[in-house]
Amino acid sequence: MKNMFSLEGKVAIVTGSSRGIGRAIAESMASFGASVVISSRKLGPCEGVRDQILANGGKAIALTCNTGRKEELEELLRVTLETFGRLDAVVANVAVNPHYGPLSTVSDEAWDKIMAVNIKSNLWLANMALPEIARQGGGSFTIISSIGALGGNTAIPAYNISKLADVALVKNLAVEWGPKNIRVNAILPGLVRTDFAKALWENPATLAATLRNTPLGRIGEVDDLGPVGAFLAMPAAAYITGQSIIVDGGATTGSPFA
């Protein structure tokens, strides 16, 4: 019987994979047999992740890529195909949030940067990568969104809006590319202990509220997300597309009245 939980022979690009959730997903994919392209804006940290994967017996290369620049995304695809000859899976994990506070205080510059990096660059990457994945007979494209997409607040509202737009992007790409056997999904993490979310989990009030409303009683760790990202690229996930996979310890499940 075919191993439905293997990525042997597959090639995956994971953007923003020099640390945090992206790194955890890349390392998990490599552990299941994928050849992984590690990428972020700085080469040194990418090489560190690559070297760790190689030391563990996996396969990986390290490349620089600022996903906000179309020409760098094109180069990322070119080198990946030149090196491995194929592409089967992409995890789009890059996001920015230069603005904390209500929408009434967000500058045009901050708004434009959030929308450009968190949404437009994902569309760029999809439009470049999905035709290549289709050439292999199908595969997967996963965007890292956020449970912030599911509601509103005054702490990171512009970011939340961009993440809801990512969910809509996933649904529309799933419809467009499903006939080519390409599955497109989103992962919606809750509060995870990453440098990116440090301003939230280091805030005592935010942390206390999160723990109070999370049935599992803790915030997430990056290793909670790694295997989920790998799973969505596996044959075991062959009938999952257009979905938002929530990974939040149950934070969005409980009732506000209990």
Percent of the chain with pLDDT over 90: 88
pLDDT the model gives residue 204 = 87
The neighbour count for residue 44, using CB atoms within 10 Å, is 10
Catalytic option among 159, 164, 186, 249: 159
Average pLDDT score over residue span 46-53 = 98
Average pLDDT score over residue span 196-202 = 80
Average pLDDT score over residue span 172-188 = 98
Integer Cα distance of 11 and 90 in angstroms: 9
pLDDT the model gives residue 210 = 87
Name the CATH superfamily housing domain 11-193+222-247: NAD(P)-binding Rossmann-like Domain (3.40.50.720)
Tokens of 160: 């939340």
pLDDT digits (tens, 9 = 90+) for 52-91: 999 999 999 999 999 999 999 999 999 999 999 999 999 9
pLDDT the model gives residue 209 = 85
Integer Cα distance of 34 and 174 in angstroms: 23
Average pLDDT score over residue span 21-47 = 98
Please determine, for residue 2, whether its predicted confidence score (pLDDT) is greater than 90: no
Q: What are all long-range contacts of 173-176, with beta carbons under 8 Å and residues at least 24 apart?
A: 173/126, 173/130, 173/141, 174/241, 174/242, 175/242
Please determine, for residue 196, whether its predicted confidence score (pLDDT) is greater than 90: no
Average pLDDT over all residues of the chain: 95
Please determine, for residue 258, whether its predicted confidence score (pLDDT) is greater than 70: no
Integer Cα distance of 92 and 123 in angstroms: 10
pLDDT digits (tens, 9 = 90+) for 77-128: 999 999 999 999 999 999 999 999 999 999 999 999 999 999 999 999 999 9
**Residue positions counted in the chain:** 258
Taking the C-alpha atoms of 52, 19, 188 and 110 in order, what is their torsion angle to the nearest 10 degrees? -160
Average pLDDT score over residue span 141-170 = 96
Beta bridge partners of 36: 12, 60
Please determine, for residue 205, whether its predicted confidence score (pLDDT) is greater than 90: no
Active site residue 159: yes
